[in-house]
Amino acid sequence: MKPLAGKIALVTGAARGIGRGIALVLAEQGATVALNDLPGDDHRIAAAEVVASTVGAGGFFAADVTDETQVAGLFAAVHARYGHLDILVNNAGTSQPKDIFTASLDDWNRIMTTNLTSCFLCSKAAMEIMAPQKSGRIVNISSVVAEQGALYGHVHYAASKSGMLGFTKTLARTAAPLGITANTVAPGIIDTELLQNTHGTTTTASLAQNVPLGLGTVRDVGLAVAFLCGEGGRYITGSTLDINGGLYLR
């Protein structure tokens, strides 16, 4: 039997990049995966491709996870279809190459809302489903910059990802008596479309030279998430699992 057989998982921001990689690995290991991303034809098409290539995929649920009303609708829809929720992966996020001088308050609020507020809203909704079950796994996708700091601006991105660590540790304490774990996966430099668009080919190649194991893949991140959601993660909570190829060593 596959390690996650019978599990229902919801992955936010699952249309592309790391979210897509996580969804594919969870489904590969037996989970039924509900994929979430923003409403819109481009995201729907990309997510549909994930569903088509994923064995056991649970369908696409469009919602803006920064909007409390849409989040409530998202979790109600998933719960209505499957009757339970075992895994939540808070992956939805974005970045912007601005430093303290160039980032406006609007820039700051947008990144914090997309990356951190969405994590709060979705975790809250998931806890309301998981608590009566007395079981569940929540995995928040942070970043190496949460500990190391960003090298090229991204001041609001680094702040949002660092905030996720404190949020996860505190959530883990609340969730533990309910049989629910909460952990963070902190990827390093992962080869994605977002990385290329944010840093460009030249800067990305330069960054890769500083990583002992080179650029990571979305599958590397997916496997880490699957570990925390499986039997091996039963006794792990409030932790941060670094997936960075040796870029940052604690």
CA dist., res. 47 & res. 24, Å (int)? 11
Roughly what angle, to the nearest 10 degrees, separates helices 155-175 and 118-133? 10
CA dist., res. 175 & res. 127, Å (int)? 8
Q: How open is the CA angle 178-186-165, to the nearest 5 degrees? A: 50
Q: Please confirm, yes or no, whether 235 is among the known catalytic residues.
A: no
Q: Is 190 exposed, middle or buried (0-12, 13-18, 19+ CB in 10 A)?
A: buried
Cα-to-chain-centroid distance, residue 143: 10
- Choose, from 82, 157, 235, 248, the residue flagged as catalytic: 157
DSSP conformation letters of 42-102: HHHHHHHHHHHHSTTEEEEEE--TTSHHHHHHHHHHHHHHHS---EEEE---------TTT
Query: Which residues are part of the catalytic machinery?
Result: 157
